[in-house]
């Protein structure tokens, strides 16, 4: 819940219609790394309506083997859900932290996250661990892998409808 890129990703997750998840009988859970007191303001800021938990000590991140540094490769394409560059993203994150009701930096900026499709039980069907802040897994791919039949468009491009 710290980096702007994570905020942008969660904003896109919030666009997933509840009906699409219910039709596929799946749940959506976000685990952030900030303090519990940031959950409500973060959900209000992003419009995120689903389950959300926090792990301020990053125990889950460590247990899963998620990176605490960034690795950039020439072949990697940035996620379509990342809408801000590295510098602007850092500046917006710092500004948001400074102007939030509780002044603190909400998590470790170096901690990388990921996406996991699991269940029922402890069965893991798919996992993607981010290499860097631009490497978020495309949400339509995750939804398809999880069994969501509905096609969703997360681009902010204007839609052209031919009549």
How far the first Cα of the chain sits from its last, in Å, is 42
- Would you say residue 53 has pLDDT above 80? yes
- pLDDT of 15-39, one tens digit each? 999 999 999 999 999 999 888 888 9
pLDDT at 75: 55
Confidence of residue 101 (pLDDT cuts 50, 70, 90): low
Question: What are the tokens at 162?
Answer: 């031919």
Strands 124-129 vs 114-118: parallel, antiparallel or unpaired: antiparallel
Confidence of residue 1 (pLDDT cuts 50, 70, 90): very low
How far apart CA 36 and CA 53 sit, in angstroms, is 8
The domain made up of 4-146 has a fold known as Glutaredoxin (3.40.30)
pLDDT at 94: 59
How far apart CA 117 and CA 145 sit, in angstroms, is 8
The three-state DSSP-derived secondary structure of the chain is CCCHHHHHHHHHHCCCCHHHHHHCCCCCEEEECCCHHHHHHHHHHHCCCCEEEECCCCHHHHHHCCCCCCCCCCCCCCCCCCCCCHHHHHHHHHHHHHHCCCCCCCCCCCCCCEEEEECCCCCEEEEEECCCCCCCCCHHHHHHHHCCCCCCCCCCCCCCCCC
- Would you say residue 158 has pLDDT above 60? no
- pLDDT of 58-93, one tens digit each? 999 999 998 776 666 665 566 655 666 556 655 555
């Amino acid at each position: 819940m710290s980096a702007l890129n994570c905020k942008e990703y969660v904003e896109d997750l919030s666009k997933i219609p509840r009906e699409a998840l219910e039709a596929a009988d799946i749940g959506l859970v976000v685990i952030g790394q900030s303090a519990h007191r940031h959950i409500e303001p973060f959900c209000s800021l992003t419009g995120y309506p689903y389950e959300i938990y926090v792990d301020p000590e990053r125990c889950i991140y460590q247990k899963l083997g998620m990176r605490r540094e960034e690795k950039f490769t020439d072949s990697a394409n940035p996620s379509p859900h990342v809408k801000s560059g590295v510098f602007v993203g850092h500046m917006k994150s710092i500004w948001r932290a400074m102007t939030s009701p509780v002044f603190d930096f909400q998590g470790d900026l170096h901690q990388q996250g990921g996406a996991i499709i699991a269940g029922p039980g402890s069965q893991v069907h798919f996992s993607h661990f981010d290499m860097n802040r631009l490497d978020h897994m495309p949400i339509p791919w995750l939804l398809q892998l999880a069994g969501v039949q509905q096609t969703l468009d997360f681009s902010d491009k204007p839609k052209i409808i031919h009549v």
